Amino acid sequence: MASILIRGGTLIDGTGSAARPGEDVLLRDGKVAAVGPSLAADADTEIVEAAGRTVMPGLIDAHTHLTFGEPTGNDELFNHRTEAYSSMLSAYNARKVLRAGVTSVLDADCLWNIGVELRDAIESGIVEGPRMRAGGQALMTMLGGTAGRMIADEGRTGYATVVTGRDVMVNEIRRQIKYGVDWIKIMVTGLIPSMKGPEVKVWNIDELRTVCDTAHELNTKVVAHCRNSDSTRDAARAGVDLIYHASYVDDEALEAVVEAGSALCPTFTLLGNLADYGAKIGTAPELLDVFRAEIEVTAKQLAKAHAAGVPFLAGSETGFAVTPVGEWHARELEMFVEYMGMTPMEAIVAATRNGAFAMRAEGELGTLEVGRIADVLVIDGDPLRDVRMLQDRERIVEVIKDGRRIDITTPIPERKQRASDQVRFLAACPLTRSLALTEADLERLSHV
């Protein structure tokens, strides 16, 4: 494989150490071969000039749903998709993710087993996309998950599989592992329509322990959706490796997380998009404040966990109508800075080095040190001055994955609505990246 020399940029290496101007980065055979000033290049080395630009690791999005295809609701997802069409849509979406500077994703649950197959198709080179780690269908108790009664009492519905009793649970985990998952996903909270409130914990701790013990015995990690405090506490105590959301955590739950050493991926982006743009897709006005309150209350508590050394990962929940593919992956960094008080550097570490945990590639991925996998971005500007720059596609001038430059300029065909789609995503979802940045923001960014 040819070598690439990225010359003279300011290096943010992903370890959290200070940015270093005037560094060269030499990539060879898919790995970082050397880092330092004025590196020599042989005749067949491709040169990428980066003077005045930032060189950093590719982003790792630890919470995506690439097989969902941007539905406006569960009806579309559960009742109007076929396996073949969903597979093709997923492959199409994977390209968009990579072009947004996201070189790795954890896609923790999926329709059918498409996430796992997409991961393999990308690895074998027949589909272009980010490096993936994938889960199968999310495990639920009979109480269901966020889709309430739309989840059948048993068996599979869309991205979910209901596990009734210990044997079914153990067998489903073993089946998913047999068919190649990297992670087991569980929905520890769900919406119970008759309770008319926020999500409640729908698993008991013994069941959670069964899941973790069964998966861990087979060298597979567990990720859990926890939209309240007691679910976060029990998930941590049971041995869940990565917790999504951790909404409204109290001090007791935070203590459990710190003690267990679980990692957190709050995924504020989906809520942030709903709060800011939900009105445009018909979200009830009174809900907009609820979403914002959830972010504010949760972030304040999670800042304590961050201070206590809990690893934070950046996740976007990309794949819904309100989080279209390729548009919002880096917004989580902005939210970490705005709501949790992280520095831009800490937010970048969350989306690079820390993300390697989700990829089960710690020490191999997520930093630009010698010997690491050569996933690199070149950014036109300094994201340490304004981390929102990483959401601006115009600023991402180079995406390199496995030491290979990705074509980010040839346009991808636009997805049009097909006649049988029960979605209104094109008409109902006018969200684009340009909406995230106001005219004033863009004006300011252009002077950074």
**Which residues lie near Zn ion (CB under 5 A)?**
317
CB half-sphere exposure, 268, CA atoms < 13 A? 28
Complex with Zn ion: residue 211 or 223, whichever CB lies closer: 223
Angstrom distance (rounded) from CA 266 to CA 263: 10
Residue 289, CA distances (Å) to 40, 244, 271, 277, 302 in order:
56, 21, 10, 12, 20
Complex with Zn ion: residue 67 or 367, whichever CB lies closer: 67
Complex with Zn ion: residue 13 or 317, whichever CB lies closer: 317
What is the nearest approach in angstroms of Zn ion to the Cβ of residue 65? 6
Q: Give Cβ neighbours of residue 140 (< 8 Å, ≥ 6 apart).
A: 151, 160, 161, 162, 163, 186, 187, 190, 202
What is the nearest approach in angstroms of Zn ion to the Cβ of residue 262? 17
Angstrom distance (rounded) from CA 142 to CA 188: 12
Angstrom distance (rounded) from CA 146 to CA 78: 13
What is the nearest approach in angstroms of Zn ion to the Cβ of residue 102? 16
By C-alpha distance, which of 224, 204, 199 is closest to 294?
A: 199
Q: Which residue has the CB atom at the shortest distance from Zn ion?
A: 317
Complex with Zn ion: residue 202 or 368, whichever CB lies closer: 202
Percent helix / strand / coil, the chain, rounded to 5 = 35, 20, 40
What is the nearest approach in angstroms of Zn ion to the Cβ of residue 315? 8
What is the nearest approach in angstroms of Zn ion to the Cβ of residue 188? 12
Complex with Zn ion: residue 317 or 375, whichever CB lies closer: 317
Please, are residues 395 and 382 in contact by the beta-carbon 8 Å criterion? no
Complex with Zn ion: residue 14 or 326, whichever CB lies closer: 326
What is the nearest approach in angstroms of Zn ion to the Cβ of residue 181? 16
Strands (E), 260-359: 263-265
What is the nearest approach in angstroms of Zn ion to the Cβ of residue 89? 17
What is the nearest approach in angstroms of Zn ion to the Cβ of residue 364? 25
What residue has token string 């506490």? 233
Complex with Zn ion: residue 24 or 317, whichever CB lies closer: 317
Please, are residues 210 and 164 in contact by the beta-carbon 8 Å criterion? no
Please, are residues 235 and 188 in contact by the beta-carbon 8 Å criterion? yes
Question: Using alpha carbons only, how large is the chain's radius of gyration in Å?
Answer: 21
What is the nearest approach in angstroms of Zn ion to the Cβ of residue 151? 15
By C-alpha distance, which of 411, 441, 404 is closest to 30?
A: 404
Complex with Zn ion: residue 61 or 317, whichever CB lies closer: 317
Complex with Zn ion: residue 54 or 113, whichever CB lies closer: 113
